[in-house]
Amino acid sequence: MNNVFNVIRHRRSIRKFKHKDIPQKYINKIISAAHLAPSAGNQKNWEFIIIRNNKIKEDLKKAVIDRIDSISLKMNSRHAKNEIISYARYLTFFNEAPVVIAVVAKPYDSLTGRLLKRYEPNVNHVSSAGIQYVAAAIQNFLLAASALRIGSCWMSGPLVAKEKLEEILSIKAPDDLLALIPLGYADKKIKPHTWPKSLDGILREIT
């Protein structure tokens, strides 16, 4: 399954995992693939934290559940409460995987920002590049995992409890937790994607 188009088609979000560990050499290969992603100025300002420790995984899950509970307590509508509680699994299943990877964005020193600060300090320049490069690294990560037949799921939902998660993982500002990614062998076979029949609505040519 090494053809890149095949790997892209077979990568699916996996939410149920076998109780089977992942050898460290595969994790290293996946992180190495993430590290080859493009980044502005080639700064590669990302960090990956590996969590195998069950107690830490439980603490992370508890932080998310506590946060969901405290949000739902503030809600007046029963329907809204039920909806957020029924969605909770999508924010918390990560701890069922043998390995969880936390993805951290380190501060990004934009070249354009630096030049503007020096020569045009009045120009308000906000760049989204910092998020873009980490997203590229995460996508490399997911594809590499998939090529090794290891299941994963990009999860930003748990960030509802971002502050507490960062405390547990000793992530200190300006570093920024962007995602949790559970890694494990899929519990059951998931259908690969099929190619889109048409690109109407997502591709337009300007002439």
Ligand X SMILES: Cc1cc2nc3c(=O)[nH]c(=O)nc-3n(C[C@H](O)[C@H](O)[C@H](O)COP(=O)(O)O)c2cc1C
Cα separation, 51 vs 62, in Å, equals: 15
CB 48 within 8 A of CB 102: yes
Amino acid present at 44: K
CB of 131 to ligand X, least distance (A): 10
Nearer to ligand X, 26 or 154 (CB): 154
Task: Give 117 or 193: the residue with its C-beta nearer to ligand X.
Answer: 193
Q: Judged by CB under 6 A, which of 6, 13, 24, 70 binds ligand X?
A: 13
CB 39 within 8 A of CB 45: yes
12 touches ligand X (CB under 6 A): yes
Q: Which is it for the CA torsion 170, 66, 92, 137, positive or negative?
A: negative
Minimum Å gap between C-beta 89 and ligand X is: 8
Is 90 a binder of ligand X (CB under 6 A)?
yes
Minimal distance in Å, beta carbon 179 to ligand X? 7
Q: Nearest CA to 155 among 32, 14, 36, 22?
A: 14
Q: Specify the stretch interacting with ligand X by CB under 6 A; choose among 60-68, 73-81, 118-126, 155-163.
A: 155-163
Restricting to residues 18-77, name those near ligand X by CB under 6 A. none
Q: Which residues pair with 103 in a beta bridge?
A: 48, 179
| CB-CB contact of 167 with 3 (8 Å) | no
List contacts with ligand X (CB under 6 A): 12-13, 15, 90-91, 153-157
